[in-house]
Amino acid sequence: MNFQLSEEQQMLADSAKRFVRDNSNVESHRQNKKLMPLNEATWQQLAELGWLAVPFEEEHGGMGMGPLETMVLLEALGEGLIMSPYIATVVLGGGFLRRADAATQAKTIPALIEGRLQLAFAAEEYERVFSLENTTLQGAVKGNDVVLNGTKASVMNGDQADLLVVLVRTAGQPGDKEGLSLFLVDANAEGIERAPHRMVDGRQGAEIRFADVSVSQDACIGELNKGYHVAKAVLQEGLLALSAESVGSMSVLLDDTVEYTKTRKQFGVPISKFQVLQFRMTDMFIAMEQTRSLLLASTLKYVEGHADADKAVHAMKAQLGRAGRKIGQEAIQIHGGMGMTDELGVGHFVKRLTAADGLFGNADVHLRGMVKPA
């Protein structure tokens, strides 16, 4: 057992922290939140720093790293208010591309690494509590084509994406793991309509409607009707990345809250002197460290392929939700009125944690997942 960062991982963490220090500020974040196209300049910076290359093979120009390095990078980036579609494009989108056929990989991954290609994973649906097997978007097989009909909801990066990975039911019923297929679809294909919207954390999302969208079976990632396991593996990498980013955000909320109580005076003393607040900040700290422990547990078990890795990932996502809400709520309460304003970073980090809980199954969904392992 060794939980120390390698030299390479330490460098990654240090440079990401430096980037956050130089590029994250509340004011530009607030401006950025307006629904607008991708901040190309920031994305190009991430590309130039090599971070878009982290999880890809060297033959495509990647760095040949894995979820551990993604964890290190995203935890550091999570300490800043930097709005990037990293998880949607690199972790989820890239995760599917890495599992696509060789020709698709050669065509797409280098472009992604250079910052020229955006992706989104279209999985969530309206009025369906999220789980992969709860998918209903219909794919009717017609010869070599599959015709897609239905709507995907809350698609992270859905409007900016050039390519969509769509989770489709090509056979069976909601609840069946069999009969799910994944298609790589041009986001501007005929029959696709996108309604862009902001997400609560300022990220950009979209509702995506499919009306008789015809795709070739060649665009299937993995085998037709056997998409569940591919989707699960990529989703787990996405959840680990989301969790790493969240741990970074939790640490900022705790630090900001502790600092605030040292400077805010009421009744003639800094409010940090009140034991009731000290205990609550202590509980915030404990919740954060427990989350960090589960982040390590789930990432290491996933990377090393342990039998209980699934359970650990569920535990992680559930902890993210519960600890994220607790830490966020306490950070606002202890900041008082100031915590309720758009001016301070606090609210923006709270929104990020709240969104992270809601996406791809919230705490309840994943606790249930632990009871009935997939």
171 binds another protein (CB under 8 A): no
Which residue type does 16 have?
A
CA distances to 61, 116, 206, 268, 363 from 321, in Å: 35, 33, 23, 37, 5
The distance from CA 198 to its chain's CA centroid, rounded to whole angstroms, is: 15
130 binds another protein (CB under 8 A): yes
Long-range contacts: 268-271, Cβ < 8 Å, 24+? 271/334
373 binds another protein (CB under 8 A): no
275 binds another protein (CB under 8 A): no
337 binds another protein (CB under 8 A): yes
Count of residues touching another protein (by CB under 8 A) = 51
The distance from CA 350 to its chain's CA centroid, rounded to whole angstroms, is: 15
CB atoms within 10 A of CB 144: 8
153 binds another protein (CB under 8 A): yes
CB atoms within 10 A of CB 295: 21
Under 8 Å between Cβ of 180 and 111: no
| Minimum separation from the CB atom of position 45 to another protein (A) | 26
Residues 203-242, one symbol each (x = binds another protein by CB under 8 A, - = not), give: --x-x-----------------------------------
142 binds another protein (CB under 8 A): no
263 binds another protein (CB under 8 A): no
What span, in angstroms and rounded, lies between the C-alpha atoms of 231 and 132? 8
Q: Which stretch binds another protein (CB under 8 A): 68-76, 127-135, 178-186, 299-307?
A: 127-135
Among 144, 175, 304, 307, binds another protein (CB under 8 A): 175
- Nearest to residue 202, comparing CAs of 79, 332, 321, 355? 355
Residues 312-331, one symbol each (x = binds another protein by CB under 8 A, - = not), give: -------------x---x--
What values do phi and psi take at 223, rounded to 5?
A: -90, 155
195 binds another protein (CB under 8 A): yes
Under 8 Å between Cβ of 180 and 220: no
3-class DSSP state of 66? coil
360 binds another protein (CB under 8 A): yes
Residues 89-108, one symbol each (x = binds another protein by CB under 8 A, - = not), give: --------------------
What span, in angstroms and rounded, lies between the C-alpha atoms of 121 and 223? 18
Q: Which is nearer to another protein, 11 or 200 (CB)?
A: 200
Which residue type does 7 have?
E
| Residue pointed to by tokens 């609210």 | 347
Q: Which stretch binds another protein (CB under 8 A): 93-101, 142-150, 262-270, 292-300?
A: 262-270
The distance from CA 81 to its chain's CA centroid, rounded to whole angstroms, is: 15
Under 8 Å between Cβ of 158 and 133: no
| Minimum separation from the CB atom of position 357 to another protein (A) | 8
3-class DSSP state of 200? coil
129 binds another protein (CB under 8 A): yes
368 binds another protein (CB under 8 A): yes
| Minimum separation from the CB atom of position 155 to another protein (A) | 9
193 binds another protein (CB under 8 A): no
Among 36, 174, 218, 223, binds another protein (CB under 8 A): 174
262 binds another protein (CB under 8 A): no
76 binds another protein (CB under 8 A): no
Structure tokens at 22: 């130089």
Among 75, 79, 124, 256, binds another protein (CB under 8 A): 124
Query: In the Cβ-directed half-sphere of 275, how many Cα atoms lie within 13 Å?
Result: 0
178 binds another protein (CB under 8 A): no
34 binds another protein (CB under 8 A): no
Between strands 119-122 and 163-169, the pairing is parallel
306 binds another protein (CB under 8 A): no
Under 8 Å between Cβ of 124 and 153: yes
Which residues contact another protein by CB under 8 A? 124, 126-131, 133-134, 153-154, 174-175, 195, 197-201, 205, 207, 265-267, 276, 325, 329, 332-333, 336-337, 339-343, 347, 350-351, 354-355, 358-365, 367-368
